[in-house]
């Protein structure tokens, strides 16, 4: 297993809609292992495959960041099938380090996906879990949390980020 470099805002792979996984083979399982190591090393509560440069519909969430093994969830080809309520909280992203902003997300979602054994599952998430699910699925669609911001707040954060990208400080 290995810790992979995390792609940052400005990297094209983060903007491409990721392709569905068609086979859960040895190379995908190795990628999952590397992504787990990468997420824990960061540390973060979620990671999408395109954040390590692989444009596939695969993502991880572990709200315990490795403290409780049963809290690691691997989602292959995840789809939101139900969504309700609204909750507004701070949110950040490993691909946009050191920036947090307030983003409104659904309070509860239900996600259908394949687990790492290829079994179809449905999982409900509330609060932080729902937020993480939406955030990571956004990644798979080429969307970043700053895309949800509006007006001056958005202008300000994008200006700061593009300055960092230009100066190679990222």
List, by residue number, the catalytic residues. 136
**Smallest separation, CB 117 to Ni ion (Å):** 26
Structure token digits, residue 76: 């292959």
**Smallest separation, CB 4 to Ni ion (Å):** 15
CA dist 149 and 158 (Å) reads: 10
24 or 93: whose CB is closer to Ni ion? 93
24 or 139: whose CB is closer to Ni ion? 139
Q: Scanning the structure block, which residue is given the tokens 């809609």?
A: 17
**Smallest separation, CB 81 to Ni ion (Å):** 22
28 or 52: whose CB is closer to Ni ion? 52
Q: Residue 38: is it exposed, middle or buried by C-beta count within 10 angstroms (0-12/13-18/19+)?
A: buried
Q: How far is CA 153 from CA 23, 113, 157, in A?
A: 41, 34, 6
CA dist 138 and 57 (Å) reads: 11
Dihedral angle sign, alpha carbons of residues 48, 137, 66, 115: negative
83 or 143: whose CB is closer to Ni ion? 143
Minimal CB distance residue for Ni ion: 93
Structure token digits, residue 57: 């519909």
- Footprint of Ni ion (CB under 5 A): 93
**Smallest separation, CB 22 to Ni ion (Å):** 24
CA dist 27 and 41 (Å) reads: 21
């Amino acid at each position: 297993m290995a810790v992979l470099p995390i792609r940052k805002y400005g990297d094209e792979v983060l903007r491409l809609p990721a392709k569905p996984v068609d086979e859960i083979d040895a190379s995908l399982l190795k990628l999952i292992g590397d992504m787990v190591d990468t997420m824990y090393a960061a540390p973060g509560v979620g990671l999408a495959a395109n954040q390590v440069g692989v444009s596939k519909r695969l993502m991880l969430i572990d709200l315990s960041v490795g403290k409780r093994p049963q809290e690691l969830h691997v989602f292959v080809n995840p789809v939101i099938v139900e969504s309700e309520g609204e909750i507004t909280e701070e949110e950040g992203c490993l691909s946009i380090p050191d920036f947090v902003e307030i983003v409104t997300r659904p309070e509860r979602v239900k996600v259908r996906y394949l687990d790492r054994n290829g079994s179809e599952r449905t999982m409900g998430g509330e609060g932080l879990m729902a937020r993480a699910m939406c955030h990571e699925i956004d990644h798979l669609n080429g969307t970043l949390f700053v895309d949800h911001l509006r007006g001056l707040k958005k202008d300000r954060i994008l200006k700061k980020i593009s300055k960092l990208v230009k100066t190679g400080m990222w």
